[in-house]
């Protein structure tokens, strides 16, 4: 990996090592994953079998010492779980005998929370037997880690069960089961606090995403010193848009063409399917290592660019390193600092504060990627974003018909990842949510529209457009609006993961096309940079 010893704003080449990461960053598109369980729309409903499915906190005490609170899922039938812990009482926990809970228990369950395992009979049968035995509630231990939705069977449409019934994942249920089998005194309290309609973490995530797109687009101006601003000044009237494309090409960049856009989305889909079928902890670790390498490079470029803007002479002292070659002392020190940050994040990635380091590394990486990759015109942008639009919708909404679940959500949720989570996401903790968790947005939902917003800024500069007469302010506003609509859709669909590009593409590409048509510049936007260079008789451009 080569690091330049001078600022990108001064004409140095931006390292192209980040370009291969596009294939991995775009593949993990934006997913807002909540607890997604099986659909039961086809199951029978009745007044006694129409409870809302609610997450339930299972507080437990072992020998009077409070243990870790577990999480379960309430059934479609039975009594509703209290909203607050103070509204319920602690009850002793006992195992049913037989453990399946499908026949009258020889254990005394009266006045206790009964624990049974899943299988051998319907959930409603287990609940009826526990209720008849005087149990205060029933916990059913699943045979998998997922929170399965307990619904009524076809013959049980008129139930009279007045105790709460809750499903526990296998690992949580086994903890309680082993404690009881060991003869320990186990007590349980059930309650289900409401999740707020809107959490302020949404605003934090919105600011990070919009700020990343704006910062990446304006990065050349942000890092340019007064002596080097000529490189980014507006072109003279004599210079054509082809001349602008030529000046831009002097920087080391990757232009995306139509064929590359189509091939890329196909590769991204292939990679997503591979993740879905072969997800494992070692696979996630490969992504974590790649993310750290890309994050180090991105953070190095960002910090060095900002420092050299204020102190151009800081790069004069150099040293020679094996494999790297000549590098400035400042660049080397910054590199060591960035490596330390990445290592610290990797070691503490499961800590409650790790989202800060992940977001810093991710934002720096995306800023660097958006300096390297670019869209040459609206024709390529239309192909790329329309393909990404279909890609996002298919893998979130249509893939369940083929795979029995949303592939995109399953990958973002980290199923079969051994507890590891995807690093290619910006995260913000739900600050006022009693259930905790994070709101997330994938790198693809920043990079895809960010490429178009960055193009609009280049086009505005080449044609001396500013303010509302340009395209950049409208597209940045459109991106922010699209992200807002994504969150609105998230809440209107009860937290089901949303394909953010469903909202972002119309609000960015759609805005560009509409403005281009209104202003009569659509043809110019469509073929920007492809016009032949016209020359006058004197031979001058």
Active site residue 445: yes
Contact 358, 345 (CB under 8 A): yes
Task: List strand residue ranges (DSSP E) for 383-538, in order.
Answer: 425-429, 438-442
Among residues 335, 297, 295, 333, the alpha carbon closest in space to that of 317 is found at 333
Catalytic residue among 392, 415, 433, 494: 392
Please state, in angstroms and as integers, the Cα–Cα distance from residue 12 to each residue in 220, 239, 368, following that order: 12, 24, 13
Place of tokens 């210079």: 239
Catalytic residue, candidates 156, 445, 460, 494: 445
Whole-number Å distance between alpha carbons of 204 and 196: 16
Which of 283, 280, 299 minimizes the C-alpha distance to 344? Answer: 299
User: CB under 8 Å to 417, separation ≥6 — which residues?
Assistant: 279, 280, 281, 283, 284
Beta bridge partners of 441: 426
d(CA 246, CA 244): 5
Torsion of CA 198, 201, 205, 208, to 10 degrees: 140
Q: Which of 138, 140, 45 is nearest to 91 (CA)?
A: 138
Cα separation, 134 vs 98, in Å, equals 16
On whether the CB atoms of residues 287 and 424 are closer than 8 A, the answer is yes
In the annotation, is 156 catalytic? no
Cα–Cα dist 80/45, whole Å? 16
CA dist., res. 337 & res. 341, Å (int): 6
- Total Cβ atoms within 10 A of residue 501: 28
Distances (CA, A) of 290 to 66, 206, 316, 362, 422: 41, 25, 31, 12, 12
Tell me the catalytic residues.
392, 445
């Amino acid at each position: 990996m080569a690091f330049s010893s001078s600022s990108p704003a001064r004409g140095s080449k931006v390292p192209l090592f980040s370009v291969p990461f596009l294939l991995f960053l775009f593949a993990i598109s934006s997913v807002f994953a909540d607890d997604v369980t099986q659909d039961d729309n086809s199951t029978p409903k009745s007044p006694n079998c129409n409870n809302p499915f609610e997450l339930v906190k299972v507080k437990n005490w072992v020998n009077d010492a409070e243990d870790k609170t577990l999480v379960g899922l309430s059934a479609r039938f039975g009594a509703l779980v209290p909203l607050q812990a103070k509204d319920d009482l602690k009850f002793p926990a006992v195992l049913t005998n037989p453990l399946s809970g499908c026949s009258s228990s020889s254990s005394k369950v009266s006045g206790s929370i009964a624990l049974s395992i899943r299988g051998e009979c319907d959930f409603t049968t287990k609940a009826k037997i526990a209720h008849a035995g005087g149990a205060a509630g029933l916990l059913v231990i699943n045979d998998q880690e997922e929170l399965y939705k307990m619904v009524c069977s076809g013959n049980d449409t008129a139930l009279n069960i007045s105790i709460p019934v809750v499903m526990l994942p296998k690992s949580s249920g086994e903890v309680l089961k082993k404690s009881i089998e060991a003869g320990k005194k186990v007590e349980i309290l059930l309650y289900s606090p409401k999740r707020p309609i809107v959490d302020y973490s949404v605003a934090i995530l919105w600011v990070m995403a919009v700020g990343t797109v704006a910062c990446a687009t304006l990065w050349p101006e942000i890092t340019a010193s007064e002596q080097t601003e000529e490189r980014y000044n507006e072109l003279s009237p004599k210079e054509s848009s082809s001349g602008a494309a030529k000046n831009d090409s002097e920087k080391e960049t990757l232009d995306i063409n139509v064929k590359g856009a189509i091939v890329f989305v196909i590769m991204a889909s292939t990679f997503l399917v591979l993740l879905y079928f072969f997800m494992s902890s070692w696979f996630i670790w490969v992504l974590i290592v790649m993310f750290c390498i890309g994050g180090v490079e991105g953070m190095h470029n960002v910090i060095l660019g900002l420092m050299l803007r204020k102190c151009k002479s800081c790069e004069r002292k150099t040293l020679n390193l094996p494999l790297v070659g000549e590098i400035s002392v400042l660049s080397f020190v910054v590199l060591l600092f960035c490596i330390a940050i990445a290592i610290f994040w990797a070691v503490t990635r499961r800590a409650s504060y790790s989202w800060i380091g992940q977001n810093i590394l991710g934002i720096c990486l995306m800023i660097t990627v958006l300096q390297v990759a670019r869209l040459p015109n609206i024709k390529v942008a239309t192909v790329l974003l329309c393909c990404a639009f279909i890609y996002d919708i298919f893998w979130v909404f249509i893939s369940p018909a083929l795979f029995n679940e949303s592939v995109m959500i399953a990958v973002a949720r980290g199923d079969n990842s051994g507890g590891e989570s995807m690093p290619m996401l910006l995260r913000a903790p739900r600050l006022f949510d009693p259930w905790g968790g994070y709101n997330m947005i994938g790198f693809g939902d920043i990079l895809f529209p960010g490429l178009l917003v960055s193009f609009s800024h280049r086009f505005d500069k080449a044609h001396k457009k500013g303010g509302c007469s340009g395209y950049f302010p409208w597209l940045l506003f459109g991106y922010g609006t699209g992200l807002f609509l994504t969150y609105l859709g998230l809440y209107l669909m009860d937290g089901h993961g949303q394909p953010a590009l469903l909202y972002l593409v119309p609000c960015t590409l759609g805005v560009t096309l509409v403005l281009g048509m209104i202003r009569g510049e659509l043809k110019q936007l469509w073929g920007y940079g492809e016009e032949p260079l016209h020359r006058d008789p004197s031979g001058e451009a």
